[in-house]
């Protein structure tokens, strides 16, 4: 069951959470919550056969709610899912057993798209920037970006909530807002509407665990061999994405329903820009997150980044030469 409609998958997840003992009868479930190129490894692991190659009988489900996916992962009904550092740290500070065993994307993973009259970052001063919602990854990323360049969010650059990225792209066309943080394929849509690339944040190196290979410490402890096998499948999926472009685009089309070649090429480039070949989690990304959380939650002040990730399995693969053999050299 590789694909189900979103409503059916939500029902599946809820039923798993409500029926005692069902988990033991289920396959190795991996879930994702958004149609983004940053989730490409989940799709490729499933469709290119890398899970099966590693002896994993996986089931891939789409549940369009990151909070529901996180709860299902905590409950053990989903074994592997994507989550950002903010979610993992928030859960951990509340005593929840959620951990990143790999870092898919260790920086703020957006393209800053702007209207034609915005030629430089300094031109954003006094202009309105759109975000999907306050507290979202795009909002956090935009604030970090503005601060890095000496612009104070809200004071120097007003931020307003618009809704989804399609709505933001439309607002830019009307000049209601002049810039925003986009992922692919919506960055391409904004570009087609007249916006241009102001900054590629992959080159800005703003630390943040944008997407982590997320599970529980209990899962790593009790099913360590399977967790390690999954990370090998991840490594093979990233290599596939870089070496099998047309096959990867076909998988993208299946999961995104996109057929436009420009959008597909843009999504693939986005994956190349941001997805880690060797998925070590970077402590700096969690430290930035904890510093931000500490403004409202005192527990974060004494917390350490290492509480929220476990690099031991990726490090084992590095020490065994897995990535070197896969790429011909250490990426």
CB 116 within 8 A of CB 196: yes
Query: Taking 70 as the threshold, does the pLDDT of residue 309 lie above it?
Result: yes
| Phi, psi (degrees; rounded to nearest 5) at 128 | -90, 135
* Cα R_g (the chain), whole angstroms: 20
Q: What value does the mean pLDDT take over residues 293-300?
A: 92
pLDDT digits (tens, 9 = 90+) for 62-106: 987 788 899 999 999 999 999 999 899 999 999 999 999 999 999
pLDDT tens digits, 209-237: 999 999 999 999 999 999 999 999 999 99
| CATH H superfamily, domain 6-107+209-327 | Periplasmic binding protein-like II (3.40.190.10)
Assess whether pLDDT exceeds 60 at residue 19: no
- Give the C-alpha separation, 153 to 166, whole Å: 23
Q: Encode pLDDT of 258-269 as tens digits.
A: 899 988 998 999
72 Cβ contact list (under 8 Å, min separation 6): 13, 16, 17, 31, 63, 78, 81
Query: Rounded to two decimals, what is the model's pTM?
Result: 0.82
- Helix segments in 212-302, DSSP class H: 217-222, 224-243, 245-256, 261-274, 283-293, 299-302
Q: For 159-189, write each residue's pLDDT tens digit.
A: 999 887 888 999 999 999 999 999 888 888 8
Question: 6-107+209-327 with 111-200: one CATH topology?
Answer: yes
Q: What is the sign, positive or negative, of the torsion defined by CA atoms of 202, 37, 209, 294?
A: positive
Buried-exposed string 244-261: b where 16+ CB fall within 10 A, e elsewhere: eeeebbebbeebbebeee
Where do the domains of the chain lie? 6-107+209-327, 111-200
The residue among 137, 120, 140, 118 whose CA lies nearest residue 128 is 118
* pLDDT digits 0-9 by tens, 27-40: 799 999 888 899 99
Which backbone phi and psi does 154 adopt, to 5 degrees?
80, -55
* Sign, Cα dihedral of 62, 50, 38, 257: negative
CB atoms within 10 A of CB 88: 24
Residue 133's pLDDT is what? 80
**pLDDT one-digit tens code per residue, 110-143:** 999 999 999 999 999 999 999 988 877 788 889 9
C-alpha 41/C-alpha 241 separation (Å) is 8
CATH for the 111-200 domain, from 3.40.50.300, 3.40.190.10, 3.40.50.1000, 1.25.40.10: 3.40.190.10
Average pLDDT over residues 284-291: 94
| 131 three-class SS | strand
**What is the predicted pLDDT for the residue at 244?**
97
Residue 22's pLDDT band, with cuts at 50, 70 and 90, is: very low
Residue of 48, 53, 36 lying closest to 111 (CA atoms): 36
Answer yes or no: are the C-beta atoms of 142 and 181 closer than 8 Å: yes
Share of the chain above pLDDT 70, in %: 92
pLDDT at 3 over 60: no
- Distance, in Å, from the CA atom of 269 to the CA atom of 284, rounded to the nearest integer, reads 25
């Amino acid at each position: 069951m590789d694909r189900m409609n979103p409503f059916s998958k939500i029902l599946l997840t809820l039923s798993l959470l409500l029926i005692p003992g069902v988990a033991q009868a289920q396959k190795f479930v991996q879930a994702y919550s958004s149609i983004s190129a940053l989730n490409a490894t989940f799709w490729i692991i499933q469709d290119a056969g890398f899970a099966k190659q590693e002896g994993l009988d996986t089931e891939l489900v789409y549940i369009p709610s990151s909070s529901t996916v996180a709860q299902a992962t905590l409950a053990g009904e989903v074994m592997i899912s994507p989550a950002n550092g903010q979610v993992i740290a928030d859960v951990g500070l509340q005593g929840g057993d959620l951990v990143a065993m790999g870092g898919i994307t260790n920086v703020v993973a957006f393209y800053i798209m702007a209207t034609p009259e915005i030629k430089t970052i300094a031109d954003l001063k006094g202009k309105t920037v759109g975000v999907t919602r306050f507290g979202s990854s795009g909002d956090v990323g935009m604030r970090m970006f503005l601060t890095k360049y000496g612009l104070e969010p809200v004071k120097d650059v007003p931020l307003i909530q618009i809704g989804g990225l399609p709505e933001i792209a439309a607002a830019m066309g009307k000049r209601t807002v002049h810039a925003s943080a986009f992922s692919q394929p919506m960055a391409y849509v904004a570009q087609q509407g007249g916006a241009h690339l102001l900054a590629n944040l992959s080159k800005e190196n703003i630390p943040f665990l944008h997407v982590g290979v997320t599970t529980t410490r209990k899962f790593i402890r009790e099913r360590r061999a399977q967790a390690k096998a999954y990370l090998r499948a991840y490594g093979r999926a990233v290599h596939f994405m870089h070496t099998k472009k047309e096959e990867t685009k076909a998988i993208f089309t299946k999961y995104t329903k996109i057929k436009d070649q420009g959008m597909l090429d843009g999504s693939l480039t986005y994956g190349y820009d941001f997805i880690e070949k060797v998925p070590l989690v970077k402590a700096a990304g969690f430290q930035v997150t904890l510093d931000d959380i500490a403004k409202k939650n005192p527990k974060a002040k004494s917390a350490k980044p290492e509480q929220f990730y476990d690099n031991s399995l990726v490090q084992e693969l590095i020490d065994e030469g897995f990535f070197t053999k896969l790429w011909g050299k250490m990426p």
